[in-house]
Structure 1
Amino acid sequence: MSAGVEVSIYPDGPGQPSHGVDDVDFRSGDVVLYVNFFGLNTKKPGLKLSCDDVEIIEDHTHDPWSAWAWSSEADWCVVSLRKTLPVPGGGFLWSPTGHRLPSANGVTGERRTALSDKLASMLLKKLYLEGAPVSKDTFRCPALSGERRIASGNVSGMPDWNAALLSTFPISAWREQRRENHQILTRILAHSEKVNVLQGKFGSEACPFSGFLVFQDEETRNRVRHELIASRIYPAILWPLDEPVLEGVLTEHKELSRLMLSVHCDMRYGKEDMLRVASSIKRALRET
């Protein structure tokens, strides 16, 4: 919006059976941003736009390795790497339809400092979790500093060391671990009447970003969140819509955002971790 681009919204969200793009009255030159919310989708959406001269950008950040991402027919696809991988920053842009990509930018001083702060924070937090004499403030300060810097300044490239890390990761194994962890959480909470774990739209092919819990009411959500934090389990609220940037957000989406919690299930965790998390959620639900 700060670049002078007119932005409008269309109805779509996590767990929604269908999107509302086909009902939008597009004009020539418009661009659609379509998001694979929380990695819940694995197949191309099959958009039927009202105008041919419209470009499509897909955001595959929450599952860059889905079948949809690999077989996309969008004009452009984007991914933020730090959401699913242990790197402090960086991203990818590609064009499935063969558009010419812009030249790569150099690394700005501001971005280099931001990523260095984030990396220092990641290493210090690892030491903290291993029991080293590191305080929370020691790793939180560079994390917050890096977060402020990473969202400011000019467009920047990725440092070589950040890119080099990518080739060392067992991505397929990590993704499969995330899928298995999500399935454990789903299986244990499947019969609860007070919470629902959002599932991929196409069954076992999906690899959700995390365990997205939808509670029957906001009070239950808040109580479970409090109980989990007391047990040193730290869920996140990733879809806050109480103060949306744009007008027109559906009431049901605002309501859904008040009922949701995100529980990590990535490669850092194994079966025993997920059993503990699921048991803590069930215990908290019994107390509501």
Structure 2
Amino acid sequence: MSHTKSNKKGYGSFFSYIDPTSKHLATSINNFQPENNKLFYTGRHAIKYVIETIKLDLNINTFWLPEYYCQHVAHWLKSNYSNIKTYKVDPSGPNFTINANDFAHPNDVILVNNFWGISKCNITCDTNNVTIIEDHSHGWLSSACLNSKADFCVASLRKSVPAPLGGMAWKPNGTSLKVLDLDDSNIFTDIWDTTDLAMRKKALFESQHHDDHELKTEFLTLVGEAETKMHHNYDLVELSETNKKTLENYLKVDYLQLKAKNYEALKHILKTNENFKTIEGSETPFGLTLHFTDEAIMSRFKTHLIKNNIYPSLLWPNNPEIYGFYLNIHIDYRYNENDIMYMSEIINLFSS
């Protein structure tokens, strides 16, 4: 049994509503505002926008995705583009170098993923006319994100930023993205509003001293509806001015810095466990990422966490099993020293 008492109704899952000007967030200011960036509703919109701007000047040969990647984004992109192929990666190795000379040809586009926010996004490519896009969805404000030398960068911001939706595209050299005419979207403003309502209901649920199961069902249903709509709408659309202003307010906070103290505390408490490997790099990661080679053990561990109100996420389902299974546990601004102690004790209790 854990000796640390949990005062929270749950750890992990999607963010509950928090005012972007709250004192808790205001303690850490984000100074990284990529010059000439463009904001979107999602990261996948950012990727599609970049691809469409590349196509203005280039007949893309092959669009390369990592073989291990978010199943929802991969499916969404494959629904838009028929020239996608994949290349092998090492999600566990921050220093892994992609040897694009083994597969790239002129006029190819390669998407490089910043795994868990600790990848250095190394790539070797001597082929002419190859365009590199880095995806920093799980590495917003990481060193690779801040110091990128890629042709383009994108990020799904809602992974790290507590806004209902959000994505960004930018060119690390500071030049402007080409301009495309985009339509307004009632569908995505609706998805934003639905997610916002779910976040507010979750915040209300967390503030109550009792367990309101009906309210919990409400916000879980709402966020599920929003996710489903997002996966099945493929049009490239403009972020509304109202939603853009809200997202910009949330982007004023350095969420990685707020996470760093929790990560350092966690490292000192966690015990080595033969059932999984803790993925580490030289900086604060997206979350506590644990790598399993046995799916059954991973499932038992996940059940163990959920029984103790810790809700991890599998990043990602439906990928080649040769890569194993990566489970993420959130350690962000929502949690204090007592929470980290509680989560650590629960993790340390697990044995297969």
Native 8 Å contact 1:39 1:209 kept in 2? yes
- Map of 2:132 onto structure 1: 56
- Map of 2:347 onto structure 1: 281
Deviation track 1:47-94 (CA, whole Å, cap 9, x = no partner) reads: 221411100011011122122222212111111111111111121111
Deviation (angstroms), 1:167: 4.2
Native 8 Å contact 2:137 2:159 kept in 1? yes
Native 8 Å contact 1:189 1:195 kept in 2? no
SS at match of 1:208: coil
Opposite residue 223 of structure 1, the aligned amino acid is R
Matched residues in 2 for 1:22 and 1:150: separation?
Answer: 32
Opposite residue 230 of structure 2, the aligned amino acid is I
Deviation (angstroms), 1:20: 3.5
- Map of 1:252 onto structure 2: 322
Aligned counterpart in structure 1 of residue 257 of structure 2, from 176, 190, 193: 176
TM-score (norm 2): 0.70
1:160 correspondence with 2:241 = yes
Comparing 220-229 with 93-102, greater Cα deviation is found at 93-102
Aligned counterpart in structure 2 of residue 140 of structure 1, from 214, 220, 229: 220
Deviation (angstroms), 1:190: 4.2
Q: What does residue range 227-246 of structure 1 map to in structure 2 within 5 Å?
A: 227-241=304-318, 244=319
Residue identity (%): 26
Opposite residue 171 of structure 1, the aligned amino acid is V
Aligned counterpart in structure 2 of residue 80 of structure 1, from 137, 149, 156: 156
- The answer to which structure has the higher strand fraction is 2
Matched residues in 1 for 2:277 and 2:201: separation?
Answer: 35
Native 8 Å contact 2:258 2:332 kept in 1? yes
Native 8 Å contact 2:117 2:139 kept in 1? yes
Deviation track 1:163-209 (CA, whole Å, cap 9, x = no partner) reads: 2234444522x312212222322322243333321102xx2xx2211
Native 8 Å contact 1:177 1:267 kept in 2? yes
Matched residues in 2 for 1:112 and 1:195: separation?
Answer: 41
Native 8 Å contact 1:39 1:63 kept in 2? yes
Native 8 Å contact 2:98 2:124 kept in 1? no
Deviation (angstroms), 1:141: 2.1
> In structure 2, do the counterparts of structure 1 residues 138 and 94 end up closer, same or farther at CA, with 3 Å as the change threshold?
same
Provide runs of 4+ in structure 1 moved above 4 Å: none
Matched residues in 2 for 1:150 and 1:193: separation?
Answer: 38
Opposite residue 101 of structure 1, the aligned amino acid is K
- Map of 2:49 onto structure 1: none
Structure 1: gaps of 5 or more residues = none
1:149 correspondence with 2:242 = no
1:37 correspondence with 2:112 = no
Native 8 Å contact 2:170 2:177 kept in 1? no
- Map of 2:204 onto structure 1: 127
Give the length in aligned residue pairs.
268
> In angstroms, what is the RMSD of aligned CA positions?
2.2
